[in-house]
Structure 1
Amino acid sequence: MYLATGSSFRAMSYIFKRGETTIGKIVNESCEAIWKVLQPIYMKKPSTNDWLSISQEFLQRWNLPNCIGAIDGKHIRIQKPMNSGSSYFNYKEYFSIHLMACADANGSFTTVDVGDYGRNNDSGVFRNSGLGQALCNKTLNIPESVPLPGEEQFGQPFQYYFAADEGFPLSINIMRPYNGRALNNNRRIFNYRLSRGRKIVECAFGMLVSKFRVFETPISCSVQKVDKIVKAACILHNFIKNHDNIILNPTDDATNITNIPIIINQGRPNNNSTESREYLCNYFQKPYRLVPWQNKYTV
């Protein structure tokens, strides 16, 4: 009830005739149990075959080859923790913790990391997250590079990657859009094609908030309890997605590339990642891989 309605502990204490402290303890223990029981089933660590399956779905639904997930961060609004100073005060001017998540092509979370300070940017949060650390240490079971679809006979091997916005670093396994100050028509099309896949994680956040109204107002709990609440909601989101049989279908012009946040990352991409992005950019112009409506996003 707490996750679905966002009712305060005080309101719930009147409904269930229990003290506020007891209600808080029940919510805490319930969220912990939900995560412990459902996480191994509905958010297990993807295997190599799982990544390949996700990649096929991104290609079929979002026309994005070799993509194995969309990553983004979301601020979870909280009441200011005691003696925390400005650590949780974000650039949107409210107190929050970070939810860093990766979603598959249908809007289910493959990984979540909760609890970083609200003042930190997406790049720093991702670098410190479990997904970022596993990517750095090469322990994610990511498949070996293969030629892009349509170039199996003559193309060079291309790595599998995550789609992200400009708040993330460009690397071999992370593709982000070109900066708005250096765009030509080909790069505008690349930004549009990448955003078609990247927006799925934003859709997942939207579905999460619409299902669980606890996120509509600041959560009045300790940071440790908020972590458990967010993780329980994320795993229940996956549980519901797995059983509702609703498949997200793309629309030709549903993505607005002007909505890409302009957050300049401090990290400098290396030559290999820059060349990979340019290779993918050129790939989207080839007759066997362009989509009919993509030229609407040129000047």
Structure 2
Amino acid sequence: MSLFTIAAYLLAKNEWEKNEKVRRRILRDHSNPLDIPDSVISKEAFLEIVRDVQPFINPSSITIEIKLATTLRYLAEGGFQRSVGKDTDISLARSTVCKVLHEVLNALEKALCPKWIKLQMSEEEIKMSKAHFFNNFCIPGIIGCVDGTHIKITKPHQNEHLFFNRKGYFSVNAMIICDYRMRITAVDACHPGASHDAFIFSLSAAKQYLSSSYVGGDHRSWLLGDSGYGLEPYLLTPYRDANAGSPQHKFNLQHSKARNIVERVIGVLKSRFKCLQTTMPYVPEKVVKIINICSAMHNICRHYNLDAFALDVVDDFLDEEVADHSSHLQTAAVSIRDEIANNLTRIV
């Protein structure tokens, strides 16, 4: 290939790239996410998010609506940045998509997570939660359910052994707590995949809150968790090796039915935001941020009654039973569970 041919090729390539930038800007400037039909997005929800994140977004030639639509498209689709940027309604270069995601994800975490993810419940909410679970599953005092789920990530550059879980892939282990309305009330995704569910709960702000509430006098409210968690006065787990037909066995059956709601929440969360089903090519800190934002966005969807198909989520591991702790709290927890199990024999 002659030098003249190479020069002509480079000149044509530069001209094409220049025209492509112009085309993208024209498409972007004439596009408006709010022109999409109501059946596709909730404009009310979209505008509320715009108002919430606006103080955290720097003004630029790209409108805040396009920036937000770009980020939401990635979260919902799970495609990589190049496919998101090529969308005719977005028309951004891959490098620009990267910068937009960085800016908007930071804004979304600051604006949405404190507003939409709250473990604290009002007296009316607590009353309604307890009534819901008792009327449907005959277990009193339930204010929520807890479970963990693994989000795949690429091999991190540091401490990779901590993120390699027993299933054989790299992940972060996200603790999810939900209420009877399938809203996420707490999320803790800061721990690597090798961390056990019970370990994550023991270090979480949720346990500190529930423990302080129990010590403060609320002795009739608790979460439900599987056998991967330790029995606490505010966290009831199933009996081990319960005999069929026994009060303990009946308790386990009702416990399993009631706790199914958190598994459904995790399934809906991953169905809404398919980025959580993929192997995320980001550092763990950014993955944690995405999980937090998706949890807040899930609650917004629940608030605006936006439907999603539930994904059948298979537990990443078989539950590993945790040794009970010997303490006055453990004794109280055993008494609470025994009392409920004995009462179930008269109800169920």
TM range (shorter): 0.7 to 0.9
Higher Rg: 2
The corresponding residue for 1:10 is 82
Matched with 1:273 is 333
The range that moved more, 1-10 or 32-41, is 32-41
Matched ranges for 1:1-299 at <5 A = 1-15=73-87, 16-49=90-123, 50-136=125-211, 138-139=212-213, 144-145=218-219, 159-180=220-241, 185-244=246-305, 261-268=318-325, 270-286=330-346, 289-290=347-348
Question: Are the counterparts in 1 of residues 147 and 226 from structure 2 also a CA contact under 8 Å?
Answer: yes
1:203: how far off?
Answer: 0.3
Give 1 or 2: higher helix fraction.
2
Relative to structure 1, the CA distance from residue 69 to residue 91 in structure 2 (aligned partners, 3 Å threshold; closer, same or farther) is: same
Normalised by the length of structure 2, the TM-score is 0.69
Counterparts of 1:245 and 1:51, CA distance in 2: 24
* Deviation for aligned residue 1:40: 4.1
The 8 Å contact of residues 113 and 292 in structure 2, kept in 1 or not, is answered as no
Q: CA shift at 1:236, angstroms?
A: 0.9
Shift of 1:48: 4.5
Query: Helix, strand or coil: the match of 1:244?
Result: coil
Q: Note closer, same or farther for the CA distance 1:31–1:51 as it changes in structure 2 (3 Å cut).
A: farther
Q: Aligned equivalents of 2:111 and 2:132: distance in 1? A: 27
**CA gap 1:14/1:84 in 2 versus in 1, 3 angstroms:** farther
Gaps of 5+ in 1: 146-158, 247-259, 291-299
SS at match of 1:162: strand
Give the whole-Å Cα distance in 2 for the aligned partners of 1:35 and 1:232: 6
Where 1:205 maps in the other structure, the secondary structure is helix
Residues of 1 paired with 2:270 and 2:210: CA distance?
28
Q: Distance in 2 between matches of 1:7 and 1:47?
A: 36
Q: Contact 1:32 / 1:232 at 8 angstroms: preserved in 2? A: no
Q: Distance in 1 between matches of 2:112 and 2:282?
A: 23
Change (3 A) 1:142 1:55: farther
Q: Aligned partners of 1:235, 1:140: CA distance in 2, in Å?
A: 27
Measure how far apart 1:9 and its partner are: 1.6
1:209-234 deviation per Cα after TM superposition (whole angstroms, max 9, x unaligned): 11111122101111111111111111
Tell me: CA distance 1:202–1:42, structure 2 relative to 1, closer, same or farther (3 Å).
same
Counterpart AA for 1:26: V
Contact 1:48 1:141 in 2 (8 A): no
Measure, in 2, the Cα distance between the counterparts of 1:279 and 1:233: 38
Query: Structure 1 residues 223 and 245 mapped into 2: Cα distance closer, same or farther (>3 Å)?
Result: closer
Tell me: CA distance 1:139–1:55, structure 2 relative to 1, closer, same or farther (3 Å).
same
Q: Identity over aligned residues, as a percent?
A: 25
The alpha-carbon deviation at position 241 of structure 1 amounts to 1.0
The separation in 1 between residues aligned to 2:102 and 2:289, in whole angstroms, is 7
The one-letter code sitting in structure 1 at the alignment partner of 2:186 is T
- 2:143 and 2:221 in contact (8 A); partners too: yes
